[in-house]
Amino acid sequence: MGYALSPIDLIPDFIPVLGYLDDLLLLPALVALTVHCIPADVWARSRERSAEVWRGGKPKRWYCALPVLLFWLLIAWLVVKAVWR
């Protein structure tokens, strides 16, 4: 995740084709490596916990999504406000 969020890139994006090609190849490989490094018992426990959250067809703690929803509504409002001025 550090590479994905870092402003430093292996091949700068302004170089045609190669700039995005390294991101296209390197990021999925790093995600796969990260998943591979998670211990099996931690992975199984997390899968069980996530299955419990959606039991009954609805998430148990849907209200946890409210800050994210409010953030995106704020962004949308700012964009609309900026465009209409």
Q: Are the C-beta atoms of residues 26 and 18 closer than 8 Å to each other?
A: no
Mean pLDDT of 17-30: 83
Residue 82 confidence (pLDDT): 94
More confident residue, 63 or 76: 76
Residue 69 has pLDDT above 90, yes or no: yes
Q: Are the C-beta atoms of residues 61 and 53 closer than 8 Å to each other?
A: yes
Residue 35 confidence (pLDDT): 92
User: What are the tens digits of pLDDT across the range 42-56?
Assistant: 999 999 988 888 777
Exposure string over 57-67, b if 16+ CB within 10 A, otherwise e:
eeeeeeeeeee
Q: pTM for the full model?
A: 0.51
Residue 4 has pLDDT above 80, yes or no: no
Give percent of the chain with pLDDT exceeding 90. 40
Q: Where exactly are the structural domains of the chain? A: 2-60
Residue 42 confidence (pLDDT): 96
